[in-house]
Amino acid sequence: MTDRPVTTAVLLVGGFGTRLRPLTLATPKQMLPVAGPSMLERVLAHLADHGVTRAVLALGYKADGFTEAYPDGTCAGVELVYAVEPEPLDTAGAIRFAALEAGVDETFLALNADVLNDLDVTEMIEFHRSSGAEGTIHLTPVDDPSRYGVVPIDADGRVEAFIEKPPRDEAPTNWINGGTYVLEPSVLDRIEPGRKVSIEREVFPAMVADRTLFALQRDGRWVDAGTPATYLEVSLAYLDGSIGTDPAVADDAEVDPSASVVDSWVGAGARVEAHVTLDRALILPGARVGSGATVRNSIVGPRAHIGVGAQLDSLTVVGDDVVIDAEAVLSEARVPAEAE
């Protein structure tokens, strides 16, 4: 272990984005816009603020979506290295494959690239080094830990157990794995090549047994943007001042003066016609919302067309290029339905 700056991050971006379908049927999850910039760009901009200059993308599903989006090999000022898995290798397998492809041989960051947070990554690296840890994970508190990896620690921050997705009433703590890790290259040697290996279910428990895994508890902004509800939440947070004050309407979008746009985002090239009501809505680039329609607490995908007088609410998600009939009423719907 050295004191050299940590400048490389391995980002897990190869998942299928199942929870966000139909938006991810054609687009990788991390390439979806978050009030303008892609989710990936938001994550990398934050890492760049903490000294990251190179990001290794562990790619799988729709890898071309990333390589075509950044033809100059940079995003948010960070150099991109592409590592395309020949087959899905799970979290640890993907980290190992990508790190070795990029020649990583020093302390590095690894993270789930569908999490948007305000973690002080510099502080986390300093804690990792002062602890003499082989690996350090960020912990964040949640109300219901049953969907996550629960991580009790001792007074020094050493991880005592790593319990993946326990029943809510059996969880020993509500501090969960936040999906950002500082790792030494030796962790790669713990990952068996050529098969699927979970870092949460195999590698971390082995490190706990060897007393080499530490954790930093920090209660800051943390959003897993992998569901329609959280994707909507974090996108709007960039508009209302809780994260930023980005424009609610893209420069080249068209919004009729009679439309009501409240707590919503209208993407590039989108068109919102007369007397439309948008309330906590995401209108993705190129979409069209016909006159008199209402989109409330819902997401309209790229180039989709919402017919005149249609009503969408309760986290309805409309996929790319879909046409919704005039006067249609949709609630809690996914269109196309087979995308659920």
**pLDDT value of residue 1:** 54
* Residue 162 phi, psi (nearest 5): -135, 105
141 found inside a domain: yes
**pLDDT value of residue 63:** 76
Q: How far does CA 63 lie from the centroid of its chain?
A: 16
CATH number where 181 lies: 3.90.550.10
Indicate if 44 and 165 belong to the same structural domain: yes
**pLDDT value of residue 339:** 44
Determine the straight-line distance between the first and last CA of the chain, rounded to whole angstroms. 46
Indicate if 216 and 279 belong to the same structural domain: no
Indicate if 254 and 219 belong to the same structural domain: no
Indicate if 196 and 292 belong to the same structural domain: no
72 found inside a domain: yes
How many residues in the chain? 340
Indicate if 210 and 304 belong to the same structural domain: no
Indicate if 206 and 258 belong to the same structural domain: no
Indicate if 148 and 177 belong to the same structural domain: yes
Of the candidates 337, 313, 308, 312, the one whose C-alpha atom is nearest the C-alpha of residue 325 is 308
Among residues 170, 199, 228, the one where a domain terminates is 228
Neighbour tally for 187: CB within 10 Å: 25
Cα separation, 256 vs 262, whole angstroms: 14
User: Rounded to two decimals, what is the model's pTM?
Assistant: 0.90
Alpha carbon of 115 to those of 99, 126, 222, 266, 288: distances in Å? 20, 21, 7, 22, 29
294 found inside a domain: yes
Q: DSSP E strands: which ranges in 17-88?
A: 54-59, 74-75, 78-84
CATH number where 272 lies: 2.160.10.10
Residues of the chain with pLDDT below 70 are: 1-2, 244, 338-340
135 found inside a domain: yes
Indicate if 143 and 219 belong to the same structural domain: yes
DSSP 8-state secondary structure symbol assigned to residue 307: P
Among residues 228, 255, 271, the one where a domain terminates is 228
Among residues 165, 198, 228, the one where a domain terminates is 228
Which residues constitute the domain of residue 306?
247-339
Indicate if 83 and 185 belong to the same structural domain: yes
Indicate if 213 and 74 belong to the same structural domain: yes
65 found inside a domain: yes
**pLDDT value of residue 2:** 61
Number of independent structural domains in the chain: 2
196 is catalytic: no
- Catalytic site residue from 29, 62, 165, 196: 165
2 found inside a domain: no
47 found inside a domain: yes
Indicate if 252 and 283 belong to the same structural domain: yes
Alpha carbon of 30 to those of 37, 115, 130, 150, 266: distances in Å? 10, 10, 33, 25, 19
Indicate if 153 and 284 belong to the same structural domain: no
239 found inside a domain: no
Q: Tens digit of pLDDT for each residue in 15-50?
A: 777 889 999 898 888 999 999 999 999 999 999 999
